[in-house]
Amino acid sequence: MSELFKEIPGTTGEYSTHKDHEGTHVFLKKFIKGKTGVHEYGFNATVTDQDDSLKTATILFYMVKDEVPVSELTEEGNAIEVLNTALGFIRKVNEDYGPDRIVFSAVKGDHDQKESMSRTQIYRKLVDRFASSYGFDSNINTLGGTDVFILTKKHENI
């Protein structure tokens, strides 16, 4: 499978793309050193371009643990490095596919309430900075232990 991947410029990860009836799928695989060693992470985007709706990029990112994708917090990784990679991946998807809307979620977890709140604040600041730099409005909804980020492209009124 790894022979299908190519390197994303400026990162140590590898990516591939695939197009089907749902849209264009973009995949990034990266190994990140965390608290308990080096872990494999996956970053996936599905970019849809329906005639009657906004072009939307739905982003998923997760750790691969025992060959299974895990999206909840494990307390084993490096949250800042993972988020930086996720934002780099989102930036690449935005530059390559120009979506009108970007949607992704981040699990806050319930291990350590203080760490969870701190992580949420960092995510929000970085997402807001990304949104303003790339011409998006950001909206963040909290559903249970998950923050859902919805970035919508600002369109100039004529």
d(CA 16, CA 156): 33
pTM over 0.75: yes
91, part of any domain: yes
Tokens linked to 106 = 């981040």
Site of tokens 């089907």:
20
Domains in the chain, number: 1
How confident is residue 132, by pLDDT bands cut at 50, 70 and 90? very high
17, part of any domain: yes
Q: What is the 3-state secondary structure (H, E, C) of the chain?
A: CHHHCEECCCCCCEEEEEEECCEEEEEEEEEEEECCEEEEEEEEEEEECCCCCCCEEEEEEEEEECCEEECCCCCCCCHHHHHHHHHHHHHHHHHHHCCCEEEEEEECCCCCHHHHHHHHHHHHHHHHHHHHHCCEEEEEEEECCEEEEEEEECCCCC
27, part of any domain: yes
158, part of any domain: no
pLDDT higher than 70, residue 77 = no
d(CA 41, CA 51): 33
d(CA 56, CA 110): 30
Diameter of the chain measured on Cα atoms? 53
What is the phi/psi pair of residue 49, to 5°?
Answer: -140, 75
What are 80-124's pLDDT values in tens digits? Answer: 787 788 888 888 999 999 999 999 887 766 555 665 566 677 778
**What value does the mean pLDDT of the chain take?**
78
Its domain, for residue 28, covers: 2-153
145, part of any domain: yes
What are 43-69's pLDDT values in tens digits? Answer: 889 999 766 678 999 998 887 877 776
d(CA 113, CA 134): 31
> What CATH number is given to the structural domain containing 112?
3.30.1710.10
pLDDT higher than 80, residue 8 = no
d(CA 57, CA 66): 28
